[in-house]
Amino acid sequence: MYVYADVVITINFVMNSIILLLTAYGAGISFRWQRIFFAAMVSSIYSLGSIWKEVLFFYTAPAKLVASLVIIIIAFGKKPVKVLCVLWCAFFLVSFILGGAVIGWLYFLQTSALSVLSESKSIVTEFGSLSWQHLAVGGSMGIGLITLLVKQLLARIYRKQTLYQVTVNYNGMETNINGLVDTGNSLFSVSGHNPVVLASYQSILGILSHSVASFLQNHDPDTWISEIYTCEDEAWLSRIEPVPYVSVGKCSMLLGFRPDKISIATENGIISTSKVVIGIYAGTFSKDIECDALLHPALINRMNSEKGEDICA
């Protein structure tokens, strides 16, 4: 049996580079191309050594675990133990998915019997020769699967880290909504210069009176302010605060009102304030995440500075 060292090194270099790049992507770690390619070359040379029986000890399962850790350190440098563990797990996850994708593609193409009985009565699977085309197609499928999987996982992690549970209280009623911190939200009320939380009107209908809900539903959002005199809820009208805003090509006013208070659940505890205005938004914020409101960053900044104390004066 002939083994072409250049072919073995080339194939392993390409696949190891892809695995390390996907590992960095999956773990959210920055990297240097030079270190990635150097680590891939070292890993390729390590793979070539398996053809010599004298060094088979270095290719046992425990030895491969150590070798993979060394490759990760070469590729990404010294990291905290927790980060190394994440990289280590991501490395093997990516390797298994890529390997499984290539094997799955070969199974898909195979038309003859896949299993034969060896002399030891065990089942042996035969794929025939592994061509560059098979490797490219199977690898591409694996890369697509990993990218999709990592994207979904990161999206879930992002939602958990950035979404806040917000409780809005008004007139003895309360509603719970999901709020996302919007760094682009720079809206403040004219009276009192209070931060504005944009909330979809569907999410706050439950705390509004029947007359207010009917007014919002039966009027075009562009006429909410100009037709506000037709609303019969005088108590709510006393809480109204139009909020000026600038969008692309125009200046306009947003209908807002002062709630009794809002409470935001954070890792430091429940933060409450009455110094806020709820801006009523007619549309939806995102189809990808369950977001009902855009929180003003000033609210979160106060939370971080006061460590769980009430931010209302």
pLDDT tens digits for range 234-266: 999 999 998 888 766 677 888 999 999 999 887
Is residue 292 over pLDDT 90?
Answer: no
Is residue 163 over pLDDT 90?
Answer: no
| pLDDT bracket for residue 155 (50, 70, 90) | low
Cα–Cα distance measured from residue 297 to residue 119, given in angstroms and rounded to the nearest whole number? 70
Of 83, 54, 84, 50, which Cα lies nearest the Cα of 68? Answer: 84
Neighbours of 122 (CB within 10 A): 8
Contact 101, 138 (CB under 8 A): yes
How many residues are there in the chain? Answer: 313
Please report, rounded to a whole number, the percentage of residues in the chain having pLDDT higher than 90.
19
- 74 contacts: CB under 8 Å, gap ≥ 6: 35, 38, 39, 42
Catalytic-labelled residue, pool 6, 182, 222, 310: 182
Residue-wise pLDDT for 71-101, tens only, equals: 989 988 887 787 788 888 888 888 887 777 7
Cα–Cα distance measured from residue 85 to residue 91, given in angstroms and rounded to the nearest whole number? 10
182 in catalytic set: yes
Of 204, 263, 264, 262, which Cα lies nearest the Cα of 236? Answer: 204
Which domains are assigned to the chain?
A: 5-130 (no CATH), 163-306 (2.40.70)
Rounded mean pLDDT, 109-129: 47
Q: Which residues of 287-306 are buried (b: 16+ CB within 10 A; e: fewer)?
A: eeeebbbbbbebbbebbeee
Contact 278, 197 (CB under 8 A): yes
Of 202, 195, 158, 201, which Cα lies nearest the Cα of 180? Answer: 158
The pLDDT of residue 126: 46
- 133 contacts: CB under 8 Å, gap ≥ 6: none
The pLDDT of residue 144: 72
Cα–Cα distance measured from residue 140 to residue 104, given in angstroms and rounded to the nearest whole number? 12
Contact 199, 278 (CB under 8 A): yes
pTM of the predicted structure, to 2 decimals: 0.49
Could you give the C-alpha distances from 187 to 64, 155, 163, in angstroms and in order?
56, 27, 20
